[in-house]
Amino acid sequence: MSFQPVILWTDALVWLLVLACMGFAWHIARTPALRASWHKVLVRPMGMSSLAVLALFVLLGLADSLHYRDRLDNGQLDVEVKSVLDIALAPLTAHPERTYSAPLATHAQSRETVERPDGSVVREAPRLQFGGAHLADPEKDWLGDVLARGAKGLMLGLFASLLCVGLLALILSTLWRCTFAAALARLRLPQNGDLAWRSLVLTFALLLLATGVVASLAGGYHVMGTDKVGQDVLYQTLKSIRTGLVIGTLTTLVTLPAAIGLGLLAGYFRGWMDDAIQFVYTTLNSIPWVLLVAAAVLIVQVFIEQNEASFSSVAERADVRLLALCVIIGLTGWTGLARLLRAETLKLRELDYVTAARAFGVSGPRILLRHILPNVQHLILISVVMDFSGLVLAEAILSYVGVGVDPVMNSWGNMINAARLELAREPVVWWPLLAAFSFMFALVLAANLFADVVQDAFDPRSGVKHSDDPRSGVKHSDDSRSGVKHTNNPRAAGTEGQA
């Protein structure tokens, strides 16, 4: 083969997590209660739209988790570790510049001493080697070329959107056992109980339109500019998605066992076990989180530097530091969920069905697994989804203070950290910071919106639950605590009052 597959530690864990998610989806399909709860998530337009955005980020992260090394002509392996995403983004890395250049620029950001054909020497911004190099007169042709490429990208995105809508309607027409035209009409005006297909289609259409415009402009320009060494900022931003997703997901694998186990044990057995567990997480909370993580990361960094020979490439060394960071954050961030599960378990252990199980001689571990754990699953799921965005931001904060991922690894935190000095330049280099902030904001916003919808669907103690009928516009709300049903339909309200 002309390449050799490379499996990093985080790659193996990421794909193991994918298999676990597939198994969880199979479990949801077999459990009516879970299936009904997730149906509540998917019928909400906000839930479907945010899930579509998250799915795009996940696909990019998974494509960046398939690594390989090229085999050179002499039979040796290249020292650089690449991914499948690098193949798709090859046009962005094929034309580096010398130094900074602004988004869609045709000239470099800084001025240099240039000798003109007539022999005169002047200081001016030189033409870029790639950005706008196809233009004969950049001052006259730049605007028209950008608009033409943007329009071409919109047309490509529109064509891709229509193709995806057609394929979706074809699949749904088979599932719904109706005609293709009827499926299209149902996508536009969903029936009661249908998933929010219209929101999904609109969200994917917007994403495809934006992708088409960016791809078209990237054929002749650096869409988000270049950094100090002339590398494309858009490439760095897209490569940073995997780092954010790994921090947000793998850290959860470390957090959940300690949080679930210690929280349930403390709440159910109480006594000395509860006191010991409370002492542990109270002590951890008393130490500043950033200082605790920084000390652990520095220890790991010293170990890596003393064992350089154990790593065959820079990517493997950076991956080990990333994995260590996930473990460290997970071991120091389980206290919040453990405290929540302890409080819930203290209440559940006093309920009648748990008391009856103890009276029949059921052991404590079996009660925890069969009776307590299933009734706190909604809290675990809500906490995991809501903590994801916080973990993504944690990577940016730690990298900003210099104790995050390896400096050679692409991450939004490293980009923001490097932007500190760039903002002090004259003229100001603002686009790396804007690019990192925009993508991180999109991921965190989508995760937060999806977490809100999941919380509304899975929390049985939510005060008001809404059921929206998209055809009639009538919204019903049930107060589960009082048993009173309300409606904003004035005729129905009058009828209920008379009754």
Q: pLDDT per residue over 95-151, tens digit each?
A: 888 888 999 999 888 887 777 777 777 778 888 889 888 888 888 999 999 999 999
Q: Is residue 256 part of a domain?
A: yes
Which residue range is the domain that position 411 belongs to?
240-464
Q: How many domains does the chain have?
A: 1
Q: Is residue 343 part of a domain?
A: yes
Contact predicate 424/323, CB 8 Å? no
Range among 395-399, 428-432, 459-463 rated most confident: 428-432
Q: Is residue 278 part of a domain?
A: yes
Q: Is residue 223 part of a domain?
A: no
The whole model's pTM is what?
A: 0.85
Q: Is residue 359 part of a domain?
A: yes
Banded pLDDT at 154 (limits 50, 70, 90): very high
Q: What is the pLDDT of residue 497?
A: 36
Range 163-180 average pLDDT? 91
Q: Is residue 215 part of a domain?
A: no
Q: Is residue 8 part of a domain?
A: no
Out of 9-18, 181-190, 417-426, 439-448, least confident range: 417-426
Surface-to-core class of residue 227, CB atoms within 10 Å of its CB (0-12 exposed, 13-18 middle, 19+ buried) = buried
CA contacts within 13 A on the Cβ side of 303 = 10
Q: Is residue 123 part of a domain?
A: no
Is the pLDDT score of 469 beyond 60? no
Q: Kindly report the CATH number assigned to the domain that includes residue 444.
A: 1.10.3720.10
